[in-house]
Structure 1
C-alpha cells in the first residue's frame, strides 16, 4: 500500500479546469517534487492534499484511508509555507511546540520533542528568541521544526526556499536533503526551481497546464525527457532544440544542411523524409580537435560568457542557435567559426507535432 496515493484528481473553477486527472502513487519515504512554471497547477494540487482546497473529482489516500472531506488537522499532514507563518509574539520553542500544545500534549513530552527537533535542525541556541531576532534561514528552520515535531505521515513544502538568497537556498537544500536521508520521511515539495528538484527529489513530476508531462527519477527526467517541454524546462542552459529532417544517410539540419548520424536507438522509429526536432544538451558539446572521435558541426560563435566553473558559448548554426557549456579555459573568439563535436548517443529526437520523444517504448 502506497504512503500517499493521488487518484485522478481534477479541479475546476467554473469553466476553467486547472487539474486534469493527476495520478501519483508515493511509497513511504519518497521525496516527490512537483516541478513546473507558475500556473501549472502544482500549488493547487498541494493545497488539495493538505485539505486547504477541495477537488472537483478524484480521491487522495494516505495508507489505507481516504482523506477526502477530512479537516486539515485530521489528515496527519504537516505543511511548511513559503512565508514561514511564524507567530511573532512567541519564542522559537513555543512556535515549534504550539501544534503539540493545541493537541494537549503534556508539558514534559512537549519540551522533550521541541528539544529533539531543535537538535536535529541545529537551532538549540535559538529556542528563547523571537522570530524578529532570526535570519531568513533560521526562520525557515523553525518553520520546518514546527512540521517535524508533529511526526506526521506526510510533509508538504510549498516553495519553502524561494524567499532566501542564493547562498542560503543552497545551505537549506543541503539541510533538507540531510534531514530526509536521516528521517526517511514522505515529502511532497512544490517548486519552480529545477536545481531544487534535481538535488532533492527521489522522483520528479513535471507539470504543465494541469497535467503531468513526465514522472520519473531526476536521472530519467534529465537524461530521457519524454517531451520537448521537459527537455526545454529542465536544464540550465536548456537543451538545444534544432529543426531537422530524416535523410537516407542520417539527419539533415534545417537551414545549415549539415548532416548528422541517426542515433541507433531511433533507427526503427523514423523513416526518410520525416521532419523531427533534435535535442542536445549544451554540456554534450565540446570544442572539436583534429582526430577527435564524434560528430562535428561548424558554427559561428556570437557570445562567450565565463560563469566561473564553465564557459557558455552561444553560436549560430545556419539560421539556428546552439549553446555549448565548455571548460572555463577553452579558447573561443566571438565572431569566428569554430567546430564543435558530440557523440551521437547524446542526440534526442522528438515529434514536432506532438512534442513527444520518438524513442521507442
Structure 2
C-alpha cells in the first residue's frame, strides 16, 4: 500500500487554476522533492497535503485513509517551515516538545522523546538555550526536532534551507540525508534548488505552471529529461539547446554550415524536421588537434574559472554553447576551437510540444 497517494489534485483561485491535476504515489520511506521555480504550484501542493489549504478537487490518502477535510493536527504529518516558526520565549527543550505537551503526553515520555531527537540532531548541549541564542543552522535543527518527536507517517519540508548560507546549506543537506537514511520516514520536500533535489531525493517531481513535467529518480531526470523545460531547468550550467534541422541523415545547426550525424536511435525522424538539440556542458571536452569523431567548432567568448572547473561560453553560428572543462584547460577568449562529445550525450526534442523525441533504446 502507498504511504502517500495524491490523486488528481486541482486547485483554483477564482478563474485561475494553480494545480492542474497532480498524481503522485509514494511508497513508505520515499523522499520526494517537488522542484520548480517560484509560482509553479509546489508550495500550494504541500499546503494542501498539510491541510493549510483546501483542494478544489481530487483526493489525498495516507495509507488507506483520505485526509482531505481532516484537521491538520489529525493527519499524522509534521511540517518544517522555511522560517523555523520557533517560539522565542521558550527554551529549545520546550520548543521541541511543545506539540507533545499540547497533546498531554506524560512528562517522562515527552522528555525521553526530546532527548532522543536532540541526540539524533546533535543539539543536546543546546536544550536550555533560547532561539535567539542559536545560529540559523541550529534553529533549523530545532525545527526538525519538533517534527521528529511526533513520529509522523509523513514529513513535509517547505524550503527549509533557503535562509541558510552556502556552507550551512551543505551541512544541513548532509544532516537531512543522514536522518532519512536512519529513520526511513516518507518525506515530501519543496525546493527551487536543484542541487538539494538531486542530492536528497529518491524521486523528483519537476513542476511547471501547476503540472508535473517529469516524475522520476534523480538519474532519470538528469540523464533522460522528458521535456525541454526539464532539460533546461535541471543542471548548472543548464543543458545547451541548439536549433537544428534533419537533412540527409545529418543534423544541420541553424545559423552555421556545421553538421553532425543524426544518432541512429533517431533514424526514423523525417527529413526536413526542425528539432531542438540538447547536450550538457559537462559532456563537452576540448578536441585534440586533428582529432576525428564528433565535434562542434565554436568561437570562445568568455572563460570563467570557478575553482573545480573552467566554464567556457562560445558561439556556434549565432547560438550559445557552454562547456564545463577541467580547471587547468588552456583556453583563451577569442579562440576558435572544436568541442568533442559522445553520441550518447545528444538529446533531441520537438520544439513545438517541448517533448523529448522517441529514440530506439
- Whether TM-score is above 0.5 comes out as yes
Distance 2:291 2:129 in 1: 62
Whole-Å Cα distance in 1 between the matches of residues 308 and 71 of structure 2? 49
Partner of 2:21: 21
Output one character per residue of 1:309-347: Cα deviation in whole Å (capped at 9) or x when no partner: 000000010111100000000011101101111011100
Q: CA contact under 8 A between 1:294 and 1:344: conserved in structure 2?
A: no
CA–CA distance in structure 2, aligned partners of residues 267 and 79 of structure 1: 49
What is the CA distance between 1:292 and its match in structure 2? 4.3
Aligned counterparts of 1:69 and 1:265: Cα–Cα separation in 2? 49
Task: Report the CA distance between 1:294 and its aligned residue.
Answer: 3.2
Equivalent in the alignment of 2:161: 161
Q: Which residue of 2 aligns with 1:314?
A: 313
2: CA distance, partners of 1:17 / 1:224: 29
Give SS of 2:95's match: helix
Kept in 1: contact 2:51–2:72 (CA 8 A): yes
Map 1:270-289 → 2, pairs under 5 A: 270-289=269-288
1:359 maps to: 358
Distance 2:241 2:78 in 1: 41
SS in 2 for 1:235: coil
Matched, 1:70 2:70: yes
Q: Deviations over 1:110-149 (max 9, x none)?
A: 0000000000000000000000000000000000000001
How far apart in 1 are the matches of 2:336 and 2:195?
32
Counterpart of 1:190 in structure 2 is: 190
- Report the equivalent of 1:46: 46
Q: C-alpha offsets along residues 133-189 of structure 1, whole Å, 9 cap, x if unaligned?
A: 000000000000000010000000000000000000000000000000010010000
- Measured against aligned partners, the alpha-carbon deviations of 1:46-103 in whole angstroms (never above 9, x if no partner) come to 0000000000000000000000100000000000000000000000010000000111
What TM-score, normalized to structure 2?
0.98
SS for the counterpart of 1:221 is: helix
User: Whole-Å Cα distance in 2 between the matches of residues 136 and 220 of structure 1?
Assistant: 33
Show structure 2 runs of 5+ residues with no match: none
Structure 1, residues 276-314: CA drift from partner, whole Å, max 9, x if none? 000000000000013645311111000000000000000
Q: In structure 2, how many angstroms separate the alpha carbons of the residues matched to 1:330 and 1:305?
A: 11
CA RMSD between the two structures: 0.9
Cα distance in structure 2, aligned partners of 1:290 and 1:312: 20
Aligned to 2:255: 255
Name the SS for the 1:143 alignment partner.
helix
Secondary structure of 1:358 counterpart: coil
Q: How many residues align?
A: 360
**CA–CA separation in structure 2 for the residues paired with 1:258 and 1:314:** 18
The TM-score normalised by the length of structure 1 is: 0.98
| Matched residue, 1:147 | 147
SS at match of 1:88: coil
1:79 corresponding residue in structure 2: 79
Match of 1:94, SS? helix
CA contact (8 A) 1:155 1:187 kept: yes
1:197-219 per-residue CA deviation (whole Å, 9 max, x = no partner) reads: 00000000000000000000000
- Corresponding residue for residue 339 of structure 1: 338
Q: After the TM superposition, which segments of 4 or more aligned residues of structure 1 sit over 2 Å from their partners? A: 290-294
| Aligned counterparts of 2:134 and 2:184: Cα–Cα separation in 1 | 28
Inter-CA distance 301–90: structure 2 relative to 1 (3 Å threshold): same
Shift of 1:256: 1.1
Distance in 2 between the 1:65 and 1:292 partners? 62
